[in-house]
Amino acid sequence: MAGEAKKLFAASEVANHASRKDCWVVIGGKVSEKEIFLAELLLVYDVTKFLEDHPGGEDVLLHASGNLRLTLTATSIPFLLLHASASGDATEAFEEVGHSTSAISMMDSYLIGSIKDYVPPSASKATDPWSVDAPPNSRTMQGNKSPPNPNTFLDFLLPLFVLGLAFAAWYYLTFVSKNH
């Protein structure tokens, strides 16, 4: 799959792929392009064809699939940065096993896309294309050139909107209502 266009999946969509005939797991990974660290994503792997061959057994993969939840929380006011945290993904279980580098390099062939709307806690740092501190074996998703932070426009407009409202209220109370 490496090099091909990858898809964005809704968290709810992943739940429909949690059986022996169709099994997806979601594991967090760092995305880079030409060794430049771009963003942390929740990567989606279709491991259906790998179930029987997985050295850790198929049950762990089946158990790890289908539980993903995204929770949206506002983290800072007045800029209202939305942070979508994930639970039920297989990242922790995958890392606890201490998979070898050869296991990690196998993953690319099962990669089918990433979870849309996920915003990692470190988004501001992670979206800086000049932060090049990616570990050498970070899992990559080539061909993903879209801007990683979907909230930037909203972050800018919301405070402006609130300021506009406050000004309108002040104008009305000071000039309009006094004339009646």
Contact residues for ligand HEM, defined by CB under 6 A: 25, 45, 47, 54-56, 60-61, 64, 90, 93-94, 97, 99-100, 102-103, 106-107, 110
Q: Are 118 and 26 in contact (CB under 8 A)?
A: no
User: From the CB of 123, what's the least distance to ligand HEM, in Å?
Assistant: 24
Identity (one letter) of the amino acid at 70? L
Closer CB to ligand HEM, 51 or 82, in the complex = 51
Which segments within the chain are labelled E, that is strand?
A: 7-9, 18-19, 22-33, 36-46, 69-74, 82-87, 111-115
Closer CB to ligand HEM, 98 or 136, in the complex = 98
Among 117, 172, 124, 173, which Cα is nearest to 150's?
117
Which residue of the chain is nearest ligand HEM when measured via CB?
56
Closer CB to ligand HEM, 119 or 139, in the complex = 139
